[in-house]
Amino acid sequence: MGTRSLFAITWPIFIESALQMLLRTSDTFMLSKVSDGAVAAVGVANQIISFGVLLFNFVALGSAVVISQYLGARRQQEIGQLAGSSLGLNFLFGVFVSVLVMAFSGPLLGIFDLESSLMQQAQGYLMIAGGALVIQALLSVVTAMIQSHGYTRQTMLVSLGMNVLNIAGNYLVIYGPGDFPKLGVMGVAISTALAQTIGLLINLILLRRTAGVHLRWSSMFRWRRDHVGKVLRVGLPSSAVSLSYSANQFVTTALISALGASMLATKIYTQNIMFFVMILAVSLGRGGQIIVGHMIGAGQQETAYRQVQGNLIRSQFITIMAVVVMVLFRVPLMRLFTGDAGIVTLGASLLLLSFILEPGRNFNIILERSLQAAGDARYPMVISIVVTWVFSVPLTYLLGIYLGYGLYGVWAAFIADEWLRGILLWFRWKGKAWQRKSLVTGREQETVV
């Protein structure tokens, strides 16, 4: 796998990532035609769901990097065993998280101090969506393993099918055509869970027939210590980065909820629009991670170093162009979600700040993913946790709440957080300490190079 395949790998990841986000965004969009209250209820519940997903996403992240390096080192014969161990580990953890979210749905939602009517809707949604987290746990691992082999278009098509099923299901349960029952918020949760289940079954078929990974089902409960150790070595720190970011968003949402339902809805609508710019950086970071992992596994560290420098330049250009398009249509985009003039005006103003925020986010994500691909996952974890909780969260409260700048202050804290983390990761990449962190030994690499 060479550098020329970067675009071929990345564009399906971008489409697939957009479709994955659309799976939740379509819920928000279609419910916005019912009421802003329903949107606020589902938006808050999805904050908890996203947090739950990140708790078990460490296996998907770790197995993706390990498989990429093993493929680079031509150790395909071990991937079936590794895949079974990863699925078994995430299945058990997914069940644990699902039970935890359902059991504590009330206290978790209580953090947001919702009105009683919204609380009831949010809890009904969370009980179903939380129970389906185990499906998401397995889906994330299988998708990551298929993509690590370079088969990104296949997972993109599966995501497309999931979205079609989800939108069709949402239409039935929200609008109730004919005699079909209107199930509202709970129906939306059921529709999403069914679409994910079908997507998982199709991806399992692709893993075997397209990627050629022959799962050893016995290995789901009989794990090899070295395989699990390598997955956890990369996966735990990598997931901690995402978990720290999500926890930051969780705390921020709780702070904003104190400002009122209007401010909360503005944040949810604005970030839903911004997500489609953010995934440009996420997608290029993921595509670059696959290629860098193959290069590191093959012992091509200097080639990987130059690849990442090129990725940074290309992704910054793409991100800025996307921001231009988003800003030009910011008002119509906001009006897709709400007719409230105050929410539209404030959201459109926040979208203008994307010219500063999104390049910083892009810079941070590309370097974070590249360091993880090299096996140097602990450093981004430390930087993320320290910067987020020592600097970003206090700054969010200071600017957004204490000094009274509201969402403008919150966005300023977002900008400072992304740029500071990105700059610190840049110095790490330039220093090349990551070149000593490969998961494949020198002897194994020598047989390939």
Q: Give the tens place of pLDDT for each residue, 308-330.
A: 988 888 888 888 999 999 999 99
Look at residue 392 and tell me whether its pLDDT is greater than 60: yes
Q: What is residue 2's predicted lDDT score, i.e. its pLDDT?
A: 46
Alpha-carbon span 238 to 443, nearest angstrom: 26
Q: What is residue 447's predicted lDDT score, i.e. its pLDDT?
A: 41
Structural domain span for residue 367: 3-446
Q: How far is CA 297 from the centre of its chain?
A: 25
What does the mean pLDDT of the chain come to?
A: 84
Tell me whether residue 59 is exposed, middle or buried, using C-beta atoms within 10 angstroms of its C-beta: 0 to 12, 13 to 18, 19 or more: buried
Pick from 251-265, 283-297, 337-351: least confident: 251-265
Q: How confident is the model at residue 372 (pLDDT cuts 50, 70, 90)?
A: very high
- Provide the domain count of the chain: 1
Q: What is residue 201's predicted lDDT score, i.e. its pLDDT?
A: 95
Q: What is residue 33's predicted lDDT score, i.e. its pLDDT?
A: 65
Give residue for tokens 């939740």: 24
Q: What is residue 198's predicted lDDT score, i.e. its pLDDT?
A: 96
Q: How far is CA 208 from the centre of its chain?
A: 25
Alpha-carbon span 49 to 55, nearest angstrom: 10
| pLDDT tens by residue, 219-232 | 777 777 888 888 88
| pLDDT tens by residue, 258-287 | 777 788 888 888 988 887 788 888 888 888
| pLDDT tens by residue, 194-207 | 999 999 999 999 99
- Which of 160, 167, 148, 134 is closest to 211 using CA atoms? 148
- Which of 392, 27, 121 is closest to 112 using CA atoms? 121
Q: For residues 97 and 56, is the Cβ–Cβ distance under 8 A?
A: yes
217 C-beta neighbours (distance < 10 Å), count:
10
Q: What is residue 445's predicted lDDT score, i.e. its pLDDT?
A: 47
Look at residue 449 and tell me whether its pLDDT is greater than 60: no
Return the DSSP state at 436. G
Alpha-carbon span 203 to 379, nearest angstrom: 32
